[in-house]
Amino acid sequence: MNQIKNLGWRVTFAGLGINLALGILYTWSIFKMTIKESILAGDGVYNWSLASLNDPYAVCCLVFAFAMIFAGRVQDRTSPRVTAVIGGILTGAGLILIAFSTSWIVWIFGFGVLMGMGLGFGYASATPPAIKWFPPAKTGMIAGIVVAGFGLASVYIAPLGTYLIGQFGLSQSMLIFGVAFLIVVSFLARFLVNPPEGYVHPDAVSKTSSAAPVGINFSPGEMMKTGAFYKLWIIFCVGSGAGLMIIGGVAGMAKSGMGSMAWVVVALMAVGNASGRVVAGILSDKIGRANTLFIMMTAQAVVIFSLLFIPPAQIVLLVIAATLIGFNYGTNLSLFPSATKDYFGLKNFGVNYGLVFSAWGVGGFVFPRVSQMIVAYSDSPRMAYILAAGLLLLGAVLALMTKAPVAAVEKETFIGIPVPEKMNAK
């Protein structure tokens, strides 16, 4: 039994390590800042329009999300090791490609398509095998630990990227990251393994999940016929899109007040991002996924709305707001895989969560793109903040209406918390 327990933690930390490499996505604002400076200087290196500045990032988010569906199927039918290696190769290839070109279309294909596919395969390989080794009562905690790496990555990639760009330029920096991440992800993939067929953690015998009983498994088609899937999808789309909108441009927001030290805000946001995943995972194990979602979505709306009243010169307030936005955004990445597993089972978890995760991609594509257009035409992000805050509040209300599919539960639930048997009497 000790061997099985140790194997579960080994898989968990291997997944954490893989996500620490893949989290380069959240450092986009550092790379974008360099490209923007080139555009404004008119040096002819990056001949992009300002309105298209977020396009590689937005495409990457979209491809990442939809690649998760196919990658999840591969993970379910083959192994997490194979899925992770594919992810490492594609991510490395995308970064290496853009190291040899400054063309917008090449960055769309390299950073957007290839790296997006790589992130999808790598990300899909990490969480499913980890949570399969643990009882339902620890689903949120384990999911939070694994995905924390993705959010925490900017803590080291932001300052490292700033240093490398200063020393070697953006193109050479992409080459260094590409080669390094290809090697790291492929190496860590060897530690990812699913538990034996039919394995049930001893603690799961006496303790069941707060949502679905052991043995309930929805196929992708069955899941997509439930209202719970579409509610989760909409909430995830809004929660992820609003957060990614800020994360993708936070270095630019801090640039006027902090200059070359703007990466500090990116790194602190990453700390908030990672801690939000772990804290929300643990909290949702205790009070329910929907309750935790309501709290976090409401808090995110308030913090984003507060940006309307924080001038760039107020560095301390900006850093606090950025950290809180990162924290609230990060909660999504542990709550939604946990809810997917609770509501729809583990058998098809890879592809089912891939379908739910497509909401992250749509939100990540639409929100940053729209916000960049608003800034380009109005020279102010104020309307983007108001729009995002309003949609987050609507998402919070929808979270209160979300519960496990009726066919998958033995007793009714109210906003994610089981109703006592006596209250269920008809």
pLDDT tens digits, one per residue of 385-410: 898 899 999 999 999 998 888 654 44
The answer to whether residue 83 scores a pLDDT higher than 80 is yes
Does some domain include residue 422? no
Which residue in this structure is represented by tokens 């707001």?
Answer: 321
Q: In this structure, what CATH number is given to the domain that contains residue 362?
A: 1.20.1250.20
Tally of domains in the chain: 1
Does some domain include residue 110? yes
What confidence score (pLDDT) does residue 347 get? 84
The answer to whether residue 422 scores a pLDDT higher than 50 is no
The answer to whether residue 207 scores a pLDDT higher than 70 is no
The answer to whether residue 62 scores a pLDDT higher than 80 is yes
State what percent of residues in the chain have pLDDT above 70. 86
Does some domain include residue 211? no
pTM listed for this prediction: 0.78
The answer to whether residue 379 scores a pLDDT higher than 80 is no
Tell me, rounded to whole angstroms, the distance of Cα 358 from its chain centroid: 11
For the segment 64-89, the average pLDDT, to the nearest whole number, is: 90
Does some domain include residue 56? yes
By residue range, what is the domain housing residue 369?
A: 10-190+217-407
Residues 6 or more apart in contact with residue 257 via CB below 8 angstroms: 312, 313, 314, 315, 318
- Rounded CA separation 236/259 (Å): 33
The answer to whether residue 230 scores a pLDDT higher than 90 is yes
For the segment 85-104, the average pLDDT, to the nearest whole number, is: 95
Does some domain include residue 5? no
Does some domain include residue 99? yes
Cα dihedral 5, 85, 140, 16 sign: positive
Q: What digits encode the pLDDT tens for the residues 293-319?
A: 999 999 999 999 998 888 767 777 877
Residues 6 or more apart in contact with residue 424 via CB below 8 angstroms: 411, 412
The answer to whether residue 426 scores a pLDDT higher than 80 is no
When mean pLDDT is compared over 8-17, 41-50, 239-248, 370-379, the highest value belongs to 8-17
- Straight-line distance from the first to the last Cα atom of the chain, in angstroms, rounded to the nearest whole number: 43
Q: What digits encode the pLDDT tens for the residues 339-366?
A: 999 899 888 888 999 999 999 888 878 8
For the segment 87-95, the average pLDDT, to the nearest whole number, is: 96
Does some domain include residue 352? yes
Does some domain include residue 78? yes
Q: In this structure, what DSSP letter does residue 310 have?
A: -
Residues 6 or more apart in contact with residue 244 via CB below 8 angstroms: 61, 329, 363, 364, 367, 368
